[in-house]
């Protein structure tokens, strides 16, 4: 089986994230990068959307989930995003990075990266 990759980079979503009191009421931006691993041989040959991983649907599911969420930690958010990414049977592995811009004074962002597979 091939380990081809689909990349979703720079997905920006506003959400409640953090443990401080003000973070529990003020939405902040997170930036999400995802790599999906799947065998893309068939869609590469057929040129048919039905044969591939529909990354648009995955992206919409992630956006809806994150916008409605209220996580304390980006670690928990990243874990649940990876679970969403693995819902399509064709996805065998997902690498998820979640960055929280401005989380530390003097740093561009703080982030975590996780990998999950079936």
CATH T-level assignment (fold) for domain 4-117 = GTP Cyclohydrolase I, domain 2 (3.30.1130)
pLDDT at residue 86 in the model: 98
Confidence (pLDDT) at 118 = 87
Domain extent listing, the chain? 4-117
* Residues in the chain where the model's pLDDT stays below 50: none
**Model pLDDT, residue 21:** 96
42 is catalytic: no
- Whole-angstrom CA distances from 11 to 4, 5, 58, 92, 114 are 21, 17, 12, 21, 16
What is the pTM for the complete model shown? 0.94
Catalytic residue among 27, 42, 60, 100: 100
């Amino acid at each position: 089986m091939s380990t081809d990759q689909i990349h979703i980079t720079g997905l920006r979503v506003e959400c409640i994230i953090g443990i401080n009191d003000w973070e529990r009421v003020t939405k902040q931006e997170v930036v999400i990068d995802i790599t999906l691993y799947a065998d893309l041989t068939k869609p590469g040959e057929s040129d048919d959307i039905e044969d591939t991983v529909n990354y648009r649907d995955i992206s919409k599911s992630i956006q809806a989930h994150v916008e409605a969420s209220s996580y304390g930690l980006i670690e928990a958010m990243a874990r649940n995003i990876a679970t969403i990414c693995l819902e399509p049977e064709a996805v065998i592995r997902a690498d998820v990075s979640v960055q929280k811009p401005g989380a530390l004074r003097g740093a561009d962002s703080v982030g975590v990266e996780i990998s999950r597979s079936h």
